[in-house]
Amino acid sequence: MSAGLGAWSFFMEHRAEILGATLEHVELVLISMVIAMFIAVPLGMFVVQRPALRAISIGVANVFQTIPSLALFGFLIPIPFIGGIGKRTAIVALVLYALLPILRNTYVGLSGIDPAVLEAAEAMGMTPSQVLFRVRFPLALAVILAGIRTATIITIGIATIAAAIGAGGLGTFIFRGVALVSDSLILAGAIPAALLALFADFLLGLLERRLRVA
């Protein structure tokens, strides 16, 4: 009870700082997600009818997913151009994590279309690119969005660790809290991060339901 009250008064005292960190967090996530989408969605569309490339690209994305996040941030620091301390390195790592769910769902969505629909599309004289953009893609959109939703939630969580390499965001409070053994500080980072994840999940879930056809 008193811990709860302590955390609450801490929140009120530092609300400007927490709000700033939250915005910084949102910025990290948004930039990473936009980049990841622009890579993974076209890549998924490109590999859907190329089984060899599909196996390779999903395999590579899988490997990134298995590297512990703190280690990945560490690995990236010494790499020239993309590495170093700060936001840029964090964004690179977050993009690498977000790729897999989006790529996999893009592929699954595009390849899970009713064969009768694809047969009709081909037989009506649609070109392969018309089949992709007018039939496969719109029908796969809800599944692709589900992948983006998963990736966003993962990214919001992992972005807290980005503070370890000086990228800012809500993780700053958590790391400080761990170092100073302060629950209030940890909660000041963890609670907004959790709320952010719930909010993003709700919003994208809403969009996903609207896009679901058939």
Partner 1 sequence: MGLSTEMNAKISNFSGNLIEFRNVSFHINDIPRREVISGVTLAVPAGDAVVLLGRSGSGKTTLLRLINAMLLPSRGEVLVQGRATLEWDPIRLRRGIGYVIQEAGLFPHFTVGENVALVPSLEKWDRERTEARVGELLRLVGLEPGEFAGRRPRELSGGQRQRVGVARALAADPPILLMDEPFGALDPVTRAELQREFRALAERLGKTIVFVTHDLREALLLASRIVLLEAGRIVAVAPPQEFLRLEHPEVRAFAASLETGPGVPA
Residues 61 and 78: beta-carbon distance below 8 Å: no
Interface segment toward partner 1; rule CB under 8 A; list 9-17, 61-69, 112-120, 192-200 = 112-120
> Judged by CB under 8 A, does residue 123 bind partner 1?
yes
> Judged by CB under 8 A, does residue 135 bind partner 1?
yes
Q: Return d(Cα 22, Cα 16) in angstroms, integer.
A: 10
CB of 140 to partner 1, least distance (A): 10
> Judged by CB under 8 A, does residue 59 bind partner 1?
no
Residues 107 and 146: beta-carbon distance below 8 Å: no
> Judged by CB under 8 A, does residue 122 bind partner 1?
yes
For residue 112, the SS3 value is coil
Residues 91 and 31: beta-carbon distance below 8 Å: yes
Residue selected from 60, 126, 164, 207 as contacting partner 1 according to rule CB under 8 A: 126
Q: Which two tokens stand for residue 34?
A: 């936009």
Q: Return d(Cα 161, Cα 67) in angstroms, integer.
A: 14
Interface segment toward partner 1; rule CB under 8 A; list 18-26, 58-66, 69-77, 130-138 = 130-138
Interface segment toward partner 1; rule CB under 8 A; list 19-27, 39-47, 127-135, 145-153 = 127-135
Between 137 and 175, CB nearer to partner 1: 137
Q: Where are the alpha helices (DSSP H) in 48-136?
A: 51-66, 69-76, 87-111, 115-123, 128-130
Length of the chain: 214
> Judged by CB under 8 A, does residue 144 bind partner 1?
no
Which residues of the shown chain bind partner 1 in the complex (CB under 8 A)? 114, 116-117, 119-127, 130, 135, 138-139, 213-214
